[in-house]
Amino acid sequence: MKEKKIREREERQKGKQLKNKFSKFLIPLNKFLTRLTALRSTSGELMKTSLFNSSIETMLRTGSLHL
């Protein structure tokens, strides 16, 4: 029982470390994509860019995009 709790705690810590690692990468990526979106002039291009941004975020969250 004690070993199970230790293992669960270690798994949570690994998850937190991974989350921190990704957030350090995602914040600059998000700033870059926001600036890129701001450079787009027409609303059609703006919509395409925001769809692109959200698809990257989704891929990162689901783990289908490997860095």
User: What is the DSSP-derived secondary structure letter of residue 37?
Assistant: H
Name the strand (E) or helix (H) holding 28.
Answer: helix 2-39
pLDDT per residue over 24-48, tens digit each?
A: 777 777 788 777 766 655 555 555 6
Alpha-carbon span 53 to 33, nearest angstrom: 7
Residue 50 has what pLDDT? 66
Q: How many CA atoms lie within 13 A of 7 on its CB side?
A: 4
* pTM passes above 0.75: no
User: What is the DSSP-derived secondary structure letter of residue 65?
Assistant: S
What is the domain partition of the chain in residue ranges? Answer: 2-62
- Cβ contacts of 29 within 8 Å, gap of 6 or more: 56
